[in-house]
Amino acid sequence: MTEFWESSFIEKQTMWGFEPTDSAIVTKDFFLERNVKDILVPGIGYGRNAKVFIDNGINVTGIEVSKTAIDLARQNGIDISIFHGSVTDMPFDNKLYDGIFCYALIHLLNDHERNKFIKDCYNQLKPNGYMIFTTVSKKAPMFGKGKQLDKDYYEIMEGVKMFFYDSDSIKQEFEQYGLVEFSEIDEPNKNMKNKPPINFLIVKCKKKL
């Protein structure tokens, strides 16, 4: 997976552009309303979603597997702490955060990796802290494409494996970690106006006291 992201990163970053996703904007508002000041962003990439938090006074720490992405973030003025490594190797520090935001990453992990990742994120939350995941749903056009590896888990193209969530799998994986609610969001591709939006699910969890 690392090799895939590294080799195609420049092409991908051009495709995605530098505007924050709608999920990040919604989450920023949610965090500001709840006085969340310090967040962890696993899979921060080149920082397009980080900037909307930073610009609103929220302290951001990132985790990113791609050195190319980190270098690009630096080139674009994202001057924050970013751990270079895979989210499957969390935790990278023993700090507890007010919030965690993870966009379009968890569905790239297999069953074991997803369960560990959710638990690791939950363990790095302060009491009453929130973690928010945006993940691809079974309504996305890629669902069912490519080689099926397991239930709702497909290799949609060489080197890219995706798990597609629905309400049942969200409840199964997140309920024990303070699941508050989940909702659909159609994410437009802001850098490619002719591309249809992709249906995602926003999953919100709160750590109990």
In a domain? residue 152: no
Please give the C-alpha separations between residue 140 and each of 13, 163, 169, in angstroms, as whole numbers. Answer: 21, 11, 15
Confidence of residue 5 (pLDDT cuts 50, 70, 90): very low
Strands (E), 137-197: 147-150, 153-157, 160-163, 179-187
Domain that holds residue 83: 2-136+166-206
CA–CA gap between residue 144 and residue 146 (Å, rounded): 7
Count of domains observed in the chain: 1
% pLDDT > 90, the chain? 79
Please give the C-alpha separations between residue 156 and each of 137, 173, 175, 183, 186, in angstroms, as whole numbers. Answer: 14, 22, 28, 24, 20
Computed over every residue of the chain, the mean pLDDT equals 90
Write out the two tokens for 175: 């309920």
- Contact criterion met (CB below 8 Å) for 100 and 125: yes
In a domain? residue 155: no
Which amino acid, residue 94? N
Write out the two tokens for 30: 């949610």
In a domain? residue 84: yes
- Contact criterion met (CB below 8 Å) for 54 and 82: no
Q: What is the pLDDT of residue 118?
A: 98
More confident residue, 20 or 198: 20
In a domain? residue 48: yes
CATH code for the domain of 104: 3.40.50.150
In a domain? residue 159: no
In a domain? residue 180: yes
Confidence of residue 187 (pLDDT cuts 50, 70, 90): confident
CA–CA gap between residue 206 and residue 157 (Å, rounded): 34
In a domain? residue 53: yes
